[in-house]
A and B are shown apart, each in its own frame.
Chain A
Amino acid sequence: MTKPCAVATPSLLARVPGVAIVLAILFVVLGLTSPSFATPANVANILVQSTILLLLALPMTLIIMTEGLDLSMGAVLTFASIALAITVLATGSVSLALLAALVVGSGFGLLNGWLVAALDIPPFIATLGTLGIAQGLSLVATDGQSVVGIPRSIQVVYSGSMLGIPIPIVIGAVAFALLCLLLYRTRFGTYVFALGGNREALRLAGVPVRRMLIAVYALGGAMAGFAALLMTGRMSAAHPTAGLGLEFDAIAAVAVGGTSFERGDGWLIGTLLGVVTVGVLRNGLNLLALPSSVQVACIGALVIFALFVDGLRSRA
């Protein structure tokens, strides 16, 4: 398989080190201070744990490239997982359940896109509103209780392996490859770049800007729906507050990875590294058994530090 992301312009290559530097530093420091860190079991752990966040952060990169934001992703993920759980309990069919989750996710994605593109509502507010709606629906549908009794067939998606590789890692890799293809090798991808930096030019060129924008948000929703499968598999349950707040982690991962909020540049490898960096940090802090308050402070420091390093590089 060709590596779409290797087709990078010189400026992209020059930015690889930013988040990679931070990740490398973290790896070395943690590897030295905690004996259990650099073991294959632990690294596999980190990668598996990071998959859900990756599935959210990848489409978030595209959304941020269009100068937008999707604050509702966590809530949509949660509601999709509830839809999935309810469907699998009612019908016993995993594929129907996955379909339900995808429909819910895409539905919200379309709603977000429509609010932003057709009604001109700023993405922050639009997705804040849909966050409330999705969260409310989750609470109403479950009356605040977890939905349990998820069959093995779904649990296995998170805990099983394919040819020795944990399934979540496989899913993550495939998603990454697909998004790279989409962004760097299709016309849609070029439009996404332009939606951020040069929307007027697109409009003048007759490209259906509105539909493109809606599609970008719909993609985000759909991937959140897919991620619901992993999350439900992980917990063997669906809980109305489980995924809340993940969107901020996704946004942070995207920013740490080097995608700028202003310029419409997109950097999927950066996002991938950003997601892994966050995962490595959290895992390392757990292994070091640092007090939770210190962990909280470290996460903030990491985010700022990563951007600081990135800033230094781009000005060097």
Chain B
Amino acid sequence: MVSIRQNAYPDLLPDFRNLGVVARVLLAVNAAALAGALYAMPELPRALEGFVRAAAFLEPLLLVELVALFVLSPQLARLSYAGGCAAVVALVSLLAGLYHAGASQVVPELPPSLVRSVVLAALVAASLLAYFRLYTKAFSPALAEARLQALQARIRPHFLFNSLNAVLALIRRDPKRAERSLEDLADLFRTLMSDARQFVRLADEIALLERYAEIEQLRLGERLRITWELDAAPPDAMLPALVLQPLLENAIYHGVEPGTAAGDVLVRIERRGERVHAAIENPYIEAEQRRAGNRMALDNVRERLALFFDAEARLEARAVGSRFRIDIEMPYRAAKA
């Protein structure tokens, strides 16, 4: 589990295996090359020509650099932030130097000097590191806020008071079950109040789902029917805390409680290759769409997925006939044993 101190967000190297990071690097470097070409040759057609020539030299180098960073990412992450930055800049410069030397053997009319290539590569790498640092800094308040929102959105007073009421009813008739329900409630609230910026193991999130479902079952009785399809769920997958529970709560609040008949809810989690898929399905009650607030939990979860996985996670919500369905897809990252 990645623990983060309460008041400070330590600087971390960007995750070089993240699609969003890779895409940003590609875009930034090419934009810089284009800007350079425009600066050197003010007429557009010639500038474009210059850019294409520069790109032919640049693109292979860029890919080699990215692959190297991708491969070495775990080793780099183990260094201190300053050490990591130095290592990244050094690695990039070294590769640029080697590449330049190698390329000049094959193609004679290359950009002038080796030193120039190395210095340029080092400068670009350093600026990009600075950019990523600012980028994470800019999002730190959003993270803190997301956590707060998560907390507020999660403790739905309606759920809390109705659950307490149900447990009170149970105390005389079935004290054992009442005890278990209060334990479930305590576990649930402990997680709800924990740091939503952490990664948790899927197995833990599933245990939380089951505790939560147990409490709802007590309240709603046979009106709530949940089908669990979890056989292919990878227990060691890491995901942001409280991504699935709010969605199950939504499914019950909007899909089961307002209905007079019993409602079927489906929870399916599975690993497909390097991706984890989760789907939650509930009856779609049309009149329910008028009730406010059903998008809040969804937006919150989507935002948190984006903060943790950048462009690599996806959340989709849609009504299909008489069912409402939410699909989540995220990269499979195993917990370190």
Q: State whether these chains interact.
A: no
